[in-house]
Amino acid sequence: MDLNNRYIRQIILPGFGIAAQEKLGKAKVLIVGMGGLGCPVLQYLVGVGVGTIGIMDADKITKSNLHRQLLYEEKEVGRLKVEAAAIKAKAQNSSVNIIEYPFELSKNNAAEIIKVYDLVIDATDNFSAKYLINDVCVWLQKPVVFGAVSGYEGQVAVFNFSSDAKPPIHYRHLFPVQPAANEFATCEETGVIGVLPGIIGTMQAAEAIKLIADLGKPLNNRLLTYNFLAARWYEIEMNSSAEVPLIDEHFINTTNYQIVCDFTEADLEEIDIDEIDVSQFLDLKYDSNIFILDVRELHEYPTIDFSHAQIPMSVLKESIHLLPEKPIYVLCHQGIRSIYAAQLIKLHKKVEAYSLKGGLTAYFNRVSNE
């Protein structure tokens, strides 16, 4: 054995050996998303010697990426992520074949691209991509290493893979129906602690290595969640769901993967909503004749003590009857969901509804400077 072999420290592991290294060298892995999750996934798969790695992302590097996407540098702001990532990967390990896809995954290209890979790493940050990846991989019978982060929590799972008698679980067993617009908060709205994608992305790389090299027990049928603040991992067993449709080519072709609004009873865009600025809100905040509603999800930070109720946007529609018959001022993180919430309230409750412009981000920026 060549003791100067770059992979020697893993080859000498019990249960690994030359056989596992050869499997890694022959493997083809597609990473969809070269952001906070995709960066560490790429670095570790390149490091262990995965033979062919496809990297897909249409985005360019921005300054706000740099606190968590440590593969990139300030001087690369404005450059396509896949271009910068490919250069770094080839410099790290010239024997690895890197294939660049500087565009988004879509119904038109997903099957053609995914079919040539052994497994897919879902390192995306949006539901449209996650459902499309899942459905195409179910149809083509490809395993998916799932990852997601938001705020102070992250999740990892292996979908569409079975190493025992149980049928494989996939993403739709966990979330059968794609959420509608404004039912959820994005990382742009809730934020994410910089180190978290590194932790979760490294776990995704670990699961991919286990699948390729047939090592240990993969996270199939299990969802692993990490809480940064509590420094705790917890795991849930996932079971199949009767609500899951038959996923085949016809299902994919007839499914709209774009995030759409479920407010079908009216075109909410026709409902005008007045936005108030922070100065106006500060004058009104303690007015007993108004009602202040926080539509953030329950886990979102920071907490506030001046709202009269917190009803998350995801359950607002069925909770509107609980609101009082008085003007309602709606708050969220950045003033995006609050506009839609105010439109919904105005439509169903027939009361005046207003949105705080810029949300609580603008509010705390203002009060911290006073």
Q: What is 126-188 written as a DSSP string?
A: SHHHHHHHHHHHHHHT--EEEEEEEBTEEEEEEES--SSSSPPP-HHHHS-SPPPTTSS--HH
Amino acid at residue number 100: E
Tell me the two tokens of residue 321: 């009857």
Tell me 221's DSSP state: T
Stretch 80-92: mean pLDDT: 97
Cis peptide leading into 40, omega within 30 of 0? no
Q: Is the pLDDT of residue 266 over 50?
A: no
Tell me the two tokens of residue 59: 């985005």
Nearest-angstrom CA–CA distance, 37 and 198: 6
Give the model's pLDDT for residue 337: 87
Tell me 351's DSSP state: S
Give the model's pLDDT for residue 279: 92
Could you tell me if 223 and 174 are in contact, meaning their C-beta atoms sit under 8 angstroms apart? yes
Query: Shortest CA distance to 292 belongs to which of 348, 247, 228, 359?
Result: 359
How far apart, in Å, do the first and last CA atoms of the chain sit? Answer: 68
Q: Is the pLDDT of residue 77 over 70?
A: yes
Assign 214 to helix, strand or coil: coil
CA-based R_g, the chain, Å: 23
Element (H, E) at 225: strand 222-227
Architecture (CATH level 2) of domain 268-368: 3-Layer(aba) Sandwich (3.40)
Question: Taking each helix axis from N to C terminus, what angle separates 38-48 and 81-92, rounded to the nearest 10 degrees?
Answer: 20
Q: Is the pLDDT of residue 259 over 70?
A: no
Supply the CATH classification number for the domain 8-254: 3.40.50.720
Nearest-angstrom CA–CA distance, 22 and 88: 23
Nearest-angstrom CA–CA distance, 194 and 15: 34
Most confident of 24-28, 149-153, 159-163, 303-307: 24-28
Residues of the chain with pLDDT > 70, as a percent, come to: 91
- pTM higher than 0.85, yes or no? no
Assign 239 to helix, strand or coil: coil
Higher local confidence (pLDDT), 120 or 163: 120
Please identify which residue in the block is written with the tokens 């759409």.
260
Tell me the two tokens of residue 16: 């690994």
Element (H, E) at 113: helix 110-114
Stretch 216-226: mean pLDDT: 92
Tell me the two tokens of residue 261: 């609004």
pLDDT-derived band at 370, boundaries 50, 70, 90: low
pLDDT-derived band at 262, boundaries 50, 70, 90: very low
Domain residue limits, the chain: 8-254, 268-368
Higher local confidence (pLDDT), 316 or 268: 316
Cα 24 to Cα 18, 50, 168, 203, distances in angstroms: 10, 5, 23, 17
Nearest-angstrom CA–CA distance, 108 and 123: 20
Assign 189 to helix, strand or coil: helix
Active-site residue set: 187, 332
Cβ partners under 8 Å of residue 162, min gap 6: 168, 220, 221
The 3-state DSSP composition of the chain as helix, strand, coil percent (nearest 5) reads: 35, 20, 45
Mean of pLDDT over the chain: 88
Q: Is the pLDDT of residue 153 over 50?
A: yes
Stretch 188-208: mean pLDDT: 89
